[in-house]
Amino acid sequence: MNPVAIGIALLVAVALAMALGVALGWAASRIEPDADSLVERIDALLPQTQCGQCLYPGCRPYAAAIASGEADIDRCPPGGDSTLRALAALLDRAPRPLDPAFGAPKPAQVAWIVEERCIGCALCLPACPVDAIVGASRQMHTVIAAQCTGCELCLPPCPVDCIELRAAPATSLRHHQPRAA
Amino acid sequence: MAARPTFPAGLALDAHKQQACGTPIIELSLPPQVTLALDQGSGYSAEPVVTVGDSVAMGTLVARADHPFASALHSPLAGNVVAIESREAAVEGGRNVCIVIENDGSGRIDDRVRPVATALSLSPEELVHRLRDAGIAGLGGAGFPTATKLNSARASGAQTLVLNGAECEPWICCDDAVMRSAADDVVRGALLLQRAAGAGRCLIAIEDDKPAAIAAVAGAIERQRDAAQRDDALTLAVISAVYPQGAERQLITAVAGIEVPSGSLPAAAGVICQNVATAVAVARWAAYGEPILSRVVTVTGSGVEHPCNVRAPIGTPLSALIAAAGGYRSTPLRLIAGGSMTGRALPSDDVGLTKAMNCVLVATPDDVGSRLGAVEMPCIRCGDCANVCPAGLLPQQLHRAALADAHDAMHELGMRDCIDCGLCDYVCPSQIPLAARFRDARRRLNAAEATAQKAAHARERHELRTRRLQEAATAEQQAFESVRNRARQPDDDPAGGNR
Amino acid sequence: MRFDTSPAPHVIAGYTVPRVMFQVLFALVPAGIAHVALFGPGLLLQLSVASVTALLAEAAALRWRGRDAAPALRDGSVLVTAFLLAFSIPPLLPWWLGALGTALAVLLGKHVFGGLGQNPFNPAMVGYAILLVSFPAEMTRWPMPLDVDGTHTWPELARMSFAGFYGADLTARWDGYTGATALDAIRNGLGMRYTLPELLGRGDIAGTFGARGFAWINLAALAGGLYLMTRRIVRWHIPLAVLGGLLVPSFIAHGLDSGIALGPTMQAFSGATMLSAFFIATDPVSAATSDRGRLWYGAGIGLIAWIIRTWGGYPDGFAFAVLLMNLAVPFIDRYTVPRIYGRRP
């Protein structure tokens, strides 16, 4: 039980640990994840509603903002809890609840143009981020339900408030039911 | 004991079939009312072509199959349509729109029901077309439209037709009864199906615990040998009585030695499977022009007095079937459409018989008490589940992935390859309800995939729109600039001047 | 008539966890009888202490975790841990050491990881390893087995066992009656440059087919293990692989130099070989998942045990071999996933 030997062993161990720790930290700071691919990966997790509730003009700009650290991950109500957790897992952060300042999650919805009230002004067409409204000036407008993401961007431009939101038809995974005659 | 061909893993289960197979098939008379569900088991509904108050005859088309996975429906009795409304049915979700027809006692047969004399000389395409119109669907339990399957077989150039007479699930013995009593129809139907599928050879697969059926079918094959195109076109294949021998992929491996690639249909591997009862239905159609109006169903379980096989019209309330089997005995606990391993428990015996229902199991605590009294414990990683899985999966790991809702892990571990046979659930010493968990997990996987597809679609449309707006803006900018340039330098333009 | 509904399948086979566990306990009876016949009733004392401690520790742990204790106590899994630990430790161990080992096995080996089904390590071996490393002297003192002629009688063994159980200092009065196990003696002897034939011929180390005393326990454990295999509680993969991993290198080494390397028969019927192969390594929770994985897992255990027995500082290597291979199980599982039907390997 040589005290000198023990002291030397301790010193060597501590020095080794410190050196390795510094080396690891330096390596972590040098090896950045490829910025572009990170944006792609974040965008792949977002629901693509393109609604702008996150205060960015679409899902891709929001993904870029998350990647650059400008925005936090809790701003997407259409994505809800599952998107939040997936983003947290991707970016290695603690999961957190949705920030209510950016809106509340809603059940899947599609826009529906009430045809009796539509005046054919075509103001809603450019508002749709996925071009899901068909129509032309002074022709009846209609929303293609299969393309509609429920983002609600078409509601403000309508001068006669003829667009309403309805529950999206349930994605029939196997069972196809007709309406009763 | 000679080893019969089979697939890896699986388990030999107690059959419980002697009870019902002892007596000849009972022919049930037409009931006072039939309830025809628009979804006859395939998961897709037909579209009604009659309305309330219409008068129909036996064999009249009452619902048209618009979707390739739905099958046409014909009235099994003569009478009046009294209702078309949502009722309890043997489908996922428990309810389905049903056409209810009341018997007027006339027994009228529709004029269009006529024997098809030249069935064997019809072209395959025409044959398939007529089978679709007759509403022929898989009577082995899935109710899948036969015409759709035959078309996909022809498109893939399938060369082998396998007739599934395995009937591996406990309690069910309707196919056994059909093979014993109508073996000639089985063979005639097989030849027609072979022609419709364009298959060069046909194998009739029967499990070795049905010696009477094997003898009957072998005899029928001998008698009809001259109708076959080649000498070896129609052969009998006797296979081991192991559950789930009758599952499509496992059966194909056992009789044809082919493994169907994961994610693709048997047709892609050159094989098409049809149930023996479907073959009999095809033969009856050729002989009488009869669309599917009835089927043989096993009514069994410790909860009925006299288990038996019954030929009953489609849409017959299950209560009538149970009455034909002598009525209820003791206190039944479950009414199961199907066998004990994969059958669907029904809430009421008013539900109508469907094309896909091959068994009505009235179960008492003796039959199902073990499952109902089970207390779930944590998984002890014993591996019994993996030892019996016929798909080569690791249910132990799938269970952990399902509990964690880890979609990538579930895909990798083969959740989609699970055939839902229930064997892992059956053997688990911790009595974990694996089959139900996996069904739920598959639903969630499908939902997630549907959402992801919708999102990808929305992303694509958004990108197209962004590009369209950019191009429009660029074109506008260019047009503006060209006009501005011309306005600034008119002298340099040789062809310019006043415009 | 209306019915309740429930999902398919509507039947189960009826195997339960308690049934599996109690079959394992039943299969240990032959080995227990051999143990008591050759080493005295100490095993019974250790079994009592271990069983009581295990049940108490499990109940306490579940209470702390806020879970219902009754179903877990009824399933018998903690009793299997207690029994296996009791079989592994010397029968002369003071009662508080047996209790300590069992409590550590249940708490640190099982409940700290989440209880039944969650432990990555074999709980009995965790308890055993902690005891072995912390109390090396007590853990390596075994009585001389009765099949060594002229040492003592069974009643004397009984008195010794009780003395040890109540913590008496065994060196004082029983020194000539206790000592190292056969494997331990061989290791010491080889270290002192004796050759194997000399050691094996001494009469107090080896019997007709294996180590003194332990040969019969191993034989009985083999019988119990084969019984479990016929009842399909244990499948052949792990036991065969463990024995293969141990006996194949020993066969080769014995062939190369029988002066210093034990032959397969001695290896198979000494120490905890058969107990480990059929009862300890086969603990399903900490073993590999697939059949192919279990073969690698068992082979690794046998090989590491052989290495420790040949060159290591401990006489019997199975406890550490099992724990080391438990560490390797996630790696083995990752690379031995069985082929899914329809997918190319």
pLDDT tens-digit map of B64-82: 999 999 999 999 999 999 9
B-contacting chains (≥3 CB pairs under 8 Å): A, C
In chain B, positions 324-363, which contact chain C (CB-CB < 8 Å)?
328, 332-336, 338, 340-349, 361, 363
- CATH code, domain carrying A60: 1.10.15.40
In this predicted structure, what is the pLDDT of residue C208? 77
Q: Has residue B339 been placed in a domain?
A: no
Q: In chain B, what residues touch A181 (CB-CB under 8 Å)?
A: 48, 51-52, 84, 97
Are residues B377 and C75, on separate chains, in Cβ contact within 8 Å? yes
> How confident is the prediction along chain A (181 residues), in pLDDT tens digits per residue?
688 988 999 999 999 999 999 999 998 878 766 666 889 889 989 998 888 888 998 899 999 999 888 888 888 998 888 889 889 988 888 888 888 888 888 888 899 999 999 999 999 999 999 999 999 888 899 999 888 988 899 999 999 999 999 988 766 555 333 333 3
Residue of B88, B362, B380, B428 for testing the chain C interface, max C β-carbons within 10 Å = B380
Domain housing A148:
107-168
Whether A77 and A134 map to the same domain: the answer is no
Q: Has residue B330 been placed in a domain?
A: no
The Cα A152–Cα A132 span in angstroms is: 12
Domain boundary among B296, B321, B344: B296
Higher pLDDT among residues C130 and A173, named by residue: C130
Q: How confident is the model at residue C31 (pLDDT cuts 50, 70, 90)?
A: very high
Are residues C340 and B263, on separate chains, in Cβ contact within 8 Å? no
In chain B, positions 210-269, which contact chain C (CB-CB < 8 Å)?
249-250, 253, 259-264
User: Which tokens hold the place of B224?
Assistant: 């009809």
Q: Has residue B42 been placed in a domain?
A: no
The answer, yes or no, to whether residue B49 has pLDDT greater than 90, is: yes
Q: In chain B, what residues touch A59 (CB-CB under 8 Å)?
A: 459, 462
Q: Has residue B451 been placed in a domain?
A: yes
Whether B277 and B385 map to the same domain: the answer is no
Q: In chain A, what residues touch B459 (CB-CB under 8 Å)?
A: 43, 48, 59
Whether B404 and B269 map to the same domain: the answer is no
Q: Has residue B344 been placed in a domain?
A: no
Counting CB pairs under 8 A, whether chains A and C reach 3 or more, is no
**C70 shares contact with chain B (CB less than 8 Å):** no
The Cα B207–Cα B250 span in angstroms is: 13
Domain boundary among A102, A122, A149: A102
Q: Has residue A64 been placed in a domain?
A: yes
Lowest mean pLDDT among B219-228, B403-412, C336-345: B219-228
Contacts of C221 (CB under 8 A, 6+ apart): C28, C30, C31, C274, C275, C278, C279
pLDDT in tens, B263-300: 888 998 999 999 999 999 999 999 999 999 999 999 99
Whether A90 and A130 map to the same domain: the answer is no
Lowest mean pLDDT among B415-424, B481-490, C264-273: B481-490
Residue B362: strand pairing partners = B335
Q: Has residue A137 been placed in a domain?
A: yes
Residue of B261, B263, B340 lying closest to C9 (CB–CB): B340
Burial class (CB in 10 A: 0-12, 13-18, 19+), A84: buried
Residue B274: strand pairing partners = B163
Q: How confident is the model at residue B493 (pLDDT cuts 50, 70, 90)?
A: low
Whether B268 and B128 map to the same domain: the answer is yes
When the pLDDT of each residue in chain C is averaged and rounded to a whole number, the result is 89
In this predicted structure, what is the pLDDT of residue A178? 35
In this predicted structure, what is the pLDDT of residue A138? 87
Q: Has residue B13 been placed in a domain?
A: no
Q: How confident is the model at residue C222 (pLDDT cuts 50, 70, 90)?
A: very high
* Chain A residue set in contact with B, beta carbons under 8 Å: 43, 46-50, 58-59, 129-132, 147, 149, 171, 173-178, 180-181
Element (H, E) at B301: none
In this predicted structure, what is the pLDDT of residue C192? 86
Which residue does chain B place closest to C77, by CA atoms?
Answer: B380
What mean pLDDT do residues C287-313 have? 93
In this predicted structure, what is the pLDDT of residue A177? 35
In this predicted structure, what is the pLDDT of residue B1? 42
Q: In chain A, what residues touch B454 (CB-CB under 8 Å)?
A: 48, 149, 171
Are residues C9 and B426, on separate chains, in Cβ contact within 8 Å? yes
Any idea how long chain C is?
Answer: 345
**C337 shares contact with chain B (CB less than 8 Å):** yes
Which residue does chain C place closest to B367, by CA atoms?
Answer: C11
**B478 shares contact with chain C (CB less than 8 Å):** no
The Cα C185–Cα C198 span in angstroms is: 12
Whether B169 and B276 map to the same domain: the answer is yes
Residue of B38, B446, B462 lying closest to A130 (CB–CB): B462
pLDDT in tens, C191-207: 888 888 888 878 778 87
Domain housing B440:
376-487
- CATH code, domain carrying B438: 1.10.1060
Domain boundary among A83, A102, A121: A102
Q: Nearest C-alpha of chain C: how many angstroms from B106?
A: 30
How much is the ipTM here?
0.86
**C14 shares contact with chain B (CB less than 8 Å):** yes
Q: Has residue B234 been placed in a domain?
A: yes
Contact B234, B202 (CB under 8 A): yes
Whether A147 and A128 map to the same domain: the answer is yes
Number of folded domains in chain B?
Answer: 2
**Quick count: other Cβ atoms within 10 Å of Cβ A83?**
19
In this predicted structure, what is the pLDDT of residue B19? 82
Q: In chain B, what residues touch A107 (CB-CB under 8 Å)?
A: none
Q: Has residue A92 been placed in a domain?
A: yes
Q: Look up the pTM and report it.
A: 0.85
Are residues C338 and B386, on separate chains, in Cβ contact within 8 Å? yes
The Cα B59–Cα A135 span in angstroms is: 47
What b/e sequence results for A29-55 when a residue is b if at least 16 CB atoms lie within 10 Å of its CB, and e otherwise?
Answer: eeeeeeeeebbebbbbbbbbbbbbbbe
Residue C327 CA, chain-centre distance (Å), reads 18
Counting CB pairs under 8 A, whether chains C and B reach 3 or more, is yes
The answer, yes or no, to whether residue B498 has pLDDT greater than 70, is: no
Domain boundary among A54, A74, A102: A102
Q: In chain B, what residues touch C287 (CB-CB under 8 Å)?
A: 381
In this predicted structure, what is the pLDDT of residue B396? 93
When the pLDDT of each residue in chain B is averaged and rounded to a whole number, the result is 90
Are residues C3 and B338, on separate chains, in Cβ contact within 8 Å? no
Number of folded domains in chain A?
Answer: 2
Q: How confident is the model at residue B495 (pLDDT cuts 50, 70, 90)?
A: low
Whether A112 and A96 map to the same domain: the answer is no
Whether A98 and A118 map to the same domain: the answer is no
Whether B264 and B381 map to the same domain: the answer is no
Q: Has residue B495 been placed in a domain?
A: no
Q: How confident is the model at residue C172 (pLDDT cuts 50, 70, 90)?
A: low
Are residues C284 and B417, on separate chains, in Cβ contact within 8 Å? no
pLDDT in tens, B430-474: 999 999 999 999 999 988 888 888 899 999 999 999 999 999 999
Contact B265, B271 (CB under 8 A): no
Q: How confident is the model at residue B332 (pLDDT cuts 50, 70, 90)?
A: very high
Domain boundary among B252, B276, B296: B296
The answer, yes or no, to whether residue C273 has pLDDT greater than 90, is: yes
Q: Nearest C-alpha of chain B: how many angstroms from C99?
A: 25
Contacts of C11 (CB under 8 A, 6+ apart): B170, B340, B341, B367, B368, B370, B371, B426
Are residues A174 and B43, on separate chains, in Cβ contact within 8 Å? yes
Whether A59 and A46 map to the same domain: the answer is yes
The answer, yes or no, to whether residue B252 has pLDDT greater than 60, is: yes
